[in-house]
């Protein structure tokens, strides 16, 4: 049992960077030339993104909200499918949109984290084999050569690609080479540090002393994490049941570790996909659907960051989907405490970006509510939740303490009806 009201004070070092973010397809609306839009129209998902949060039109309002929340940094993506809706046809109007957006953030004193591909890509690129096909490298390079010089004056940190490490083997091994090429293209135009956002999951044996679960947990870790970290550190591409290879431009192709971290996965060797169910005593269904973020496990921060002592770390995603905003206040307090503990153990964490600033379209459904701000998906009105004010005060204090928690929580939240 954890008593949130007795949490020891968490204080971050001077210069620690606080922020939040969102991704283009999840908020902009009408991303009609992307493969995601096509999949939604084909009925692949529970809901369609539609107008989402209408942020393509309301981006200035979002900048205002970022200021209101006290954000020092903001992470968002450039939508390739808007920039190059049809093969070889570039849209200057879309490019100008992102230039204005990033320039305005910069003018307001907010550092920009730009992601060049965040799960959505042009449909025409998908039809050519996407990132699995390394023959498509010139298309990605051409896109970056068009966009990067224009936005580089306003971008402080770069993510080439978001979370490709949890996909199937051929996709992530191909994308590893796209990351490397993207790194070197961006380097030509920017001195800002570059990485790719890595979904860093703690794989834990469901039965802690069971050899089968242990081996499968380690296997999942190698396939989804170590292939990436080893590749960046050495240039060697190693993956189970694949011929080894060396990629010269991959070695050193990350200036910091961009970490998206949420919870652990329990690994059960007795299930065909090795994905175990949550323990009954930790599972919390905080929204009206089954979802993968159904527990608090701040210990995963220690496991995740303890392996990354060779580069600076920025937490580029961390958040919780809940209908009761009080859980978000507990989540922030516990996870920030865990990050501080990981730093005490030697992890060079230099910033934290909460995910996400707005409730948005969560890749198939509007039900998972991650936002510090509520969004009415009919009127697109944004309304601050108590957690937005809580986070603003965390930023002002460069940390969190029991007094601040008591200001926003009168009791521990419960799922009991």
Please tell me whether residue 73 adopts helix, strand or coil conformation.
strand
Residue 417 banded pLDDT, cuts 50, 70, 90: low
Q: Which residues does residue 194 pair with via DSSP β-bridges, in sequence order? A: 158
- Examine residue 340 and state whether it is found in any structural domain, yes or no: yes
User: Average pLDDT over the chain, rounded to whole?
Assistant: 97
Residue 80, pLDDT above cutoff 80: yes
| Alpha carbon distance 49, 362 (integer Å) | 9
Model pLDDT, residue 401: 97
- Region 231-256 average pLDDT: 98
Residue 46 banded pLDDT, cuts 50, 70, 90: very high
Question: Number of structural domains, the chain?
Answer: 1
Give the residue among 361, 378, 353 at the shortest CA–CA distance from 73. 353
Which helix (H) or strand (E) segment holds residue 112: the answer is strand 111-115
Spatial neighbors of 362 by CB under 8 A, at least 6 apart, are 26, 321, 368, 370
| Alpha carbon distance 406, 335 (integer Å) | 17
Model pLDDT, residue 1: 59
- Region 68-87 average pLDDT: 98
The string of pLDDT tens digits covering residues 347-382 is 999 999 999 999 999 999 999 999 999 999 999 999
SS (H, E, C) 360-394: CCCCCCCCCCCCCEEECCCCCCEEECHHHHHHHHH
- Examine residue 227 and state whether it is found in any structural domain, yes or no: no
- Examine residue 249 and state whether it is found in any structural domain, yes or no: no
The string of pLDDT tens digits covering residues 121-136 is 999 999 999 999 999 9
Model pLDDT, residue 69: 98
- Examine residue 18 and state whether it is found in any structural domain, yes or no: yes
Supply the range of the domain harboring residue 300: 4-201+256-408
Percent of the chain with pLDDT over 70: 100
- Examine residue 224 and state whether it is found in any structural domain, yes or no: no
- Region 62-68 average pLDDT: 98
The string of pLDDT tens digits covering residues 163-182 is 999 999 999 999 999 999 99
Model pLDDT, residue 8: 95
- Examine residue 277 and state whether it is found in any structural domain, yes or no: yes
Query: How far, in Å, are 32, 131, 146 from residue 89 at the CA level?
Result: 15, 20, 11
Model pLDDT, residue 235: 98
Which helix (H) or strand (E) segment holds residue 305: the answer is helix 299-305
- Examine residue 160 and state whether it is found in any structural domain, yes or no: yes
Percent of the chain with pLDDT over 90: 98
Model pLDDT, residue 191: 98
- Examine residue 351 and state whether it is found in any structural domain, yes or no: yes
The string of pLDDT tens digits covering residues 305-356 is 999 999 999 999 999 999 999 999 999 999 999 999 999 999 999 999 999 9
Model pLDDT, residue 2: 77
Q: CA end-to-end span of the chain, whole Å?
A: 21
Q: Give the CATH number of the domain where residue 287 resides.
A: 3.20.20.80
Residue 301, pLDDT above cutoff 90: yes
Residue 54, pLDDT above cutoff 80: yes
Dihedral of CA atoms 331, 280, 218, 233 in degrees, nearest 10, equals -10
């Amino acid at each position: 049992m954890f008593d949130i009201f007795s949490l020891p004070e968490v204080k971050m070092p001077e210069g620690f960077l606080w922020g939040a973010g969102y991704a283009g397809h999840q908020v902009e609306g009408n991303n009609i030339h992307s493969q995601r839009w096509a999949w939604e129209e084909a009925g692949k998902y529970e809901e369609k993104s539609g107008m989402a949060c209408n942020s393509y039109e309301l981006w200035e309002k979002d900048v205002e909200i970022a200021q209101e929340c006290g954000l020092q940094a903001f992470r968002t993506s450039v939508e390739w499918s808007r920039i190059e809706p049809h093969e070889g046809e570039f849209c200057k109007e879309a490019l100008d949109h992102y230039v204005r957006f990033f320039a305005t953030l910069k003018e307001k004193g907010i550092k920009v984290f730009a992601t060049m591909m965040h799960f959505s890509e042009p449909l025409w690129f998908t039809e050519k084999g996407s990132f699995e096909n390394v023959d498509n490298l010139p298309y990605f390079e051409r896109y970056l050569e068009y966009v990067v010089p224009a936005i580089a004056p306003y971008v402080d940190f770069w993510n080439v690609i978001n979370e490709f490490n949890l996909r199937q083997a051929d996709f992530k091994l191909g994308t590893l080479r796209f990351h490397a090429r993207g790194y070197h293209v961006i380097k030509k135009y920017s001195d800002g540090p570059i990485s790719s956002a890595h979904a860093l999951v703690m794989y834990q044996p469901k039965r802690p002393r069971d050899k089968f679960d242990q081996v499968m947990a380690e296997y999942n870790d190698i396939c989804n994490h170590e292939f990436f970290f080893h590749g960046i550190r050495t240039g060697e591409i190693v993956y189970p049941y694949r011929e080894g290879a060396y990629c010269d431009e991959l070695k050193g192709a990350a200036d910091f570790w961009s970490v998206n971290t949420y919870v652990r996965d329990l690994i059960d060797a007795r299930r065909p996909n090795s994905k175990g169910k949550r323990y009954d005593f930790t599972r919390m269904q905080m929204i009206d659907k089954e979802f993968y973020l159904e527990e608090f496990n701040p210990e995963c921060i220690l496991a995740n960051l303890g392996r990354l002592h060779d580069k600076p770390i920025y937490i580029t995603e961390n958040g919780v989907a809940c209908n009761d905003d009080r859980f978000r206040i507990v989540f922030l307090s516990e996870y920030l405490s865990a990050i501080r503990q990981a730093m005490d153990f030697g992890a060079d964490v230099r910033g934290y970006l909460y995910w996400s600033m707005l409730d948005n379209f969560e890749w198939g459904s509007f039900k998972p509510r991650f936002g510090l701000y509520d969004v009415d998906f009919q009127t697109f009105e944004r309304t601050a939740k108590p957690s937005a004010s809580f986070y603003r005060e965390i930023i002002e204090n460069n940390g969190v303490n029991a007094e601040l928690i008591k200001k926003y929580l009168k009791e521990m939240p419960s799922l009991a009806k």
